[in-house]
Amino acid sequence: MDITRICMWSGPRNISTALMYSFRERQDTTVVDEPLYAHYLSTTGIWHPGRPETLASQDNDGESVVRNEILGPSPTPVIFFKQMAHHLVGLDWSFLDYVTNVILTRHPAQVLASFTKNVPDVDADTTGLPICIKLIDRILESGQTPIVIDSKELLTGPASVLGKLCEAIGLDYDPGMLSWEAGPVPEDGSWGAYWYHSTHRSTGFAPYVPKDVTLADQVQSIVDECLPMYERLLEYALRADA
């Protein structure tokens, strides 16, 4: 069986869990929640809510995860890995040549306004944007066209953006991807208890609503550093139909 392996690389506090739930509604797809999270925590020593549970629930060896999970067997023709871009730390990136890489992005001010509620110590790497830029460069150097989703565009037109995403990946669009039942799912990582409250209340993609945020000067300086990276990703973003 030919397997379509999708790695969706995102920064934190995006709609990545909602996208995982969306792909979970496909009959041909298995979803996996952040398989490299324990690798990231063990490699960096960083503290996140739920760190002990995450380290206990996953293989801490990232190369083993790549070999046995990301490039391993799949029970379905499509397997969707929800990934955080910064989890790629300390890994051989050659496996990226054997998966379909999708980048999910969001304005860094919105990312950091949400993330700092739980983890106040942040920097540019926290947003995942520096790694996403490296991913873009790698994809372009291989002669491929990057597949980028911006959360604002997806929430503005879920059906049109999901349709274009499926086409770019080489899948048939399934309208069932637009909705799901409220509540947690078995595929949720152990950290879902700390981060997934709003997604668990959802039954689909909520309409985009602009948000004004006020950030501390230190955090705003990180946003200013990251903004050119975000704007570069937007050049490749799939657009919602008018």
Task: Count CB-CB contacts under 10 A for residue 185.
Answer: 17
Nearest partner of 125 among 11, 8, 9, 38, judged by Cα: 11
Instruction: Check: CB of residue 162 under 8 Å from CB of residue 178.
Output: yes
Q: Tell me what pLDDT residue 60 has.
A: 97
- Sheet with 147-150: list strands edge to edge: 29-33, 78-84, 4-10, 100-105, 147-150
* Tokens at 196, concatenated: 């997934």
Q: Are strands 4-10 and 29-33 parallel, antiparallel or unpaired?
A: unpaired
CA atoms within 13 A on the CB side of 14: 28
Q: Tell me what pLDDT residue 211 has.
A: 81
CA atoms within 13 A on the CB side of 75: 4
**Structural domains of the chain in order of their starting residue, each with its CATH number:** 4-234 (3.40.50.300)
Task: Count CB-CB contacts under 10 A for residue 94.
Answer: 8
Q: Are strands 100-105 and 78-84 parallel, antiparallel or unpaired?
A: unpaired
Q: Tell me what pLDDT residue 120 has.
A: 78
Q: Tell me what pLDDT residue 168 has.
A: 97
Instruction: Check: CB of residue 224 under 8 Å from CB of residue 69.
Output: no
Q: Give the span between the Cα atoms of 43 and 89, in whole angstroms.
A: 8
Question: SS3 for 142-159, per residue?
Answer: CCCCCEEEEHHHHHHCHH
Nearest partner of 78 among 150, 192, 158, 174, judged by Cα: 174
Q: From first to last of its 242 residues, what are the pLDDT tens digits of the chain?
A: 799 999 999 988 889 999 999 999 999 999 999 999 999 999 999 988 899 999 999 999 999 999 999 999 999 999 999 999 999 999 999 999 999 999 999 999 999 888 777 777 888 888 899 999 999 999 999 999 999 999 999 999 999 999 999 999 999 999 999 999 999 999 999 999 998 999 999 999 999 988 888 888 888 999 999 999 999 999 999 999 97
Measured in degrees and rounded to the nearest 5, phi and psi for residue 5 equal: -105, 115
Q: Tell me what pLDDT residue 118 has.
A: 75
Q: Give the span between the Cα atoms of 227 and 215, in whole angstroms.
A: 14
Q: Give the span between the Cα atoms of 177 and 39, in whole angstroms.
A: 30
